[in-house]
Structure 1
């Protein structure tokens, strides 16, 4: 029983750990958006998204011909991405993601900032989870082969799909942080 009380008493500290964890993820992933390979990697998500595709200048299906293998530098593809607005959009998105992480972290000391950061984490996660509906690359493709297999399409998540699905954790974490910060704000206004 004492063990349960010990853990219950640490709930506030665990929420702070959650805020630190979100900051680390947001700062790292947002910071990577300035690199070519990361910007290239988000193109299928952005190009197919009804919330973001208007940021790109080329048609959604064109990117299929200009995919760079992760870490590769193919000049023809990079030129297409420059013209598409891939890199400029990625820089802006990275900045937004880092700012959300900072707001969430600041919530440890400033509940108003944390409340906003938690809500923005939730909203960002809703948009990210929408990729499960809009982006074909989140499911294993039917590549045919000598032995046809039924293991493609929904519900068989690709590596990209598994990465997107994890945002359910970010979504709930954002709500927990926003709720905790709201409670702290309410408590500070009570006599």
Structure 2
């Protein structure tokens, strides 16, 4: 029995490591892309229809807003990756990612282009499908936050 638990614990440990690396990589990469013009254009329907982002879009312009989002994502991704050196900072980064993904998921409601026109609210467009994957990333951020908090307490 002990061997079975040890291998399950080992598998969970490897899974958390893969999850953390994948989450950090996704956020860092997407953050870096925010500096590309095509990404500024891709984000336009999301930010212009969002009650949270539209005022920032009007004040900063599309490019500066995307760069601000990119810098934020790079900081969050870096903090998540910092768990071996700074588990508390990593937990903060994970909670930042939770906030990020809750915000992006709100685009499903605020962005008309997230739904397939004339097909009802549950029929997602490609944009809506792209945003929906953030539910998985939200779960990953919650798990990495818990893992980082456990590591910080054991220090």
RMSD: 1.7
Q: State how 1:114-153 maps to structure 2 within 5 Å.
A: 114-142=90-118, 152-153=119-120
Residue 103 (structure 1) aligned with residue 79 (structure 2) = yes
Residue 182 (structure 1) aligned with residue 149 (structure 2) = yes
Report the structure number with the largest CA radius of gyration. Answer: 1
**1:112-156, CA deviations, whole angstroms, 9 ceiling, x for partnerless residues?**
1210111011110000000111000100113xxxxxxxxx13111
Match of 1:157 in 2: 124
Match of 2:18 in 1: 17
Residue 36 (structure 1) aligned with residue 37 (structure 2) = yes
Structure 1 gaps, min length 5 = 59-83, 143-151
Match of 1:75 in 2: none
1:107–1:117 Cα contact (<8 Å) kept: no
**1:16-69, CA deviations, whole angstroms, 9 ceiling, x for partnerless residues?**
2111101111111111111111001101111111111111228xxxxxxxxxxx
Higher helix share: 2
1:100–1:117 Cα contact (<8 Å) kept: yes
Structure 2 gaps, min length 5 = none
When normalised by structure 2's length, the TM-score is 0.91
1:16–1:108 Cα contact (<8 Å) kept: no
Report the Cα distance in structure 2 between the residues aligned to 1:3 and 1:187, rounded to whole angstroms: 24
